[in-house]
Amino acid sequence: MRVALVHDYLNQMGGAERVVLALHELFPDAPLYTSIYDPKRVDPAFRRMDIRTSFMQKLPLVTSHHQPYLPFYPYAMESLDLRGYDLVLSSSSAFAKGVITRPETLHICYCHTPMRWCWNYEEYVEREQLGRLARSLLPFLISKLRLWDQVTAARVDHFIANSPVVAERIRKYYRREAVVIPPPVDASRFKFEPQARGDYFLIVSRLVPYKRIDLAIEACNALRLPLVIIGKGRDLPRLQRLAGPTIRFAGQLSDAEVLDYFAHCRALIFPGEEDFGITPLEAQASGRPVIAYGAGGALASVIGGVTGVFFHEQTVESLAAVLATFDERAFDPYRIREHALEFDKPRFQRRMLQFIEAKLAERQSHEQTLALPSVAVKGKPRGEAGASGAP
């Protein structure tokens, strides 16, 4: 069986890219198709793969400034040559599900979300620093992308959603059903030192506006609480201007350094509304609790009062009220890690294989049924009408 993997773009590292790594472990000989690829910006494990990019790879500065090339992505995905594959697995939060496959190819999409910046456009751009020209032109482009997004959903044979929230979005925007398989956390990577606790709260994130890191900064400013922020992104200058003396920006760190910060923080703060969010599970794999905005994917990965606590309004005041009374000693690190192990990578891979094998078996059975010869009834093939047209 020939298998191909497809992903939106490979110029940043996050939870979606870790899903691709886990899928590639299941199918190590499968090539990985994508629009653009920058090996310096993703996990070194990608360098050992057969990665095949689209025509966009040759566009100037595309891997470092991919947003201005937004209109090109649908064409890039549709230009990928996926002839000859029996199974295509797409990992999509935007464009990858739009690839064109042959009728005999089974296309399964692991959907991180329908294009959230298309379907929640006003919320997504309200904190982006866009110029007047961009704000006037973008709505026309977004409208066309919504149509493309809906049309291309019909190209997928089966959807897998990463959370119940995303399954509901797939039902609403695509009118399709999806089975839920949460994304993996590689629990074996994380330190578990239940007695070793630091005095700081932690954020590990790309620094972009919709992550709402500004809420955590302003809440910690008000309470004069230590906060360490790991990551980089275009929102960094604005966040630095907001930060008081108890806020420290650590930048982009090595895996070993990040794991050490996870193991010793008081808690991870997760202030944005995410489709799922693997970072809270990474903190929990280290036995550390999570303070999360009580919406979206966090509801599927954090157990309130057991592995963390929620704040229920996305405001500085709501988060500060939780931080002011937070006591990490009320949480059992062993119970927290036990919960994270329910999302461990081997379990994810088993569930994915079971789903894929079941759908391949269904298709094979259907094809065999179609190949059966017609049964003759009184000299006529089954289904053939008489001269009168009556059955």
pLDDT digits (tens, 9 = 90+) for 23-80: 999 999 999 999 999 999 999 999 999 999 999 999 999 998 888 899 999 999 999 9
Specify the range with the lowest mean pLDDT, choosing from 41-50, 230-239, 371-380: 371-380
pLDDT at 374 over 80: no
Contacts of 329 (CB under 8 A, 6+ apart): none
Specify the range with the lowest mean pLDDT, choosing from 53-67, 120-134, 303-317: 120-134
Q: Residue 218's pLDDT band (boundaries 50, 70, 90)?
A: very high
For residues 163 and 235, state if they share a domain: no
CATH code of 64's domain: 3.40.50
Q: Do the domain assignments include residue 163?
A: yes
Which of 237, 200, 238 is closest to 220 using CA atoms?
Answer: 200
For residues 24 and 98, state if they share a domain: yes
pTM of the model: 0.84
DSSP 8-state class, residue 40: G
* DSSP-assigned letters across all residues of 327-357: -GGGS-HHHHHHHHHTTBHHHHHHHHHHHHH
Contacts of 49 (CB under 8 A, 6+ apart): 24, 31, 32
Domain boundary among 184, 216, 248: 184
Q: Residue 365's pLDDT band (boundaries 50, 70, 90)?
A: confident
CA distance 207 to 201: 16
Count how many domains the chain has. 2
Domain boundary among 133, 153, 184: 184
Q: Do the domain assignments include residue 342?
A: no
pLDDT digits (tens, 9 = 90+) for 140-160: 889 999 999 999 999 999 999
Domain hosting 74: range is: 3-184
For residues 106 and 193, state if they share a domain: no
Which of 254, 273, 110 is closest to 180 using CA atoms?
Answer: 110
pLDDT digits (tens, 9 = 90+) for 206-217: 999 989 999 999
CATH code of 210's domain: 3.40.50.2000
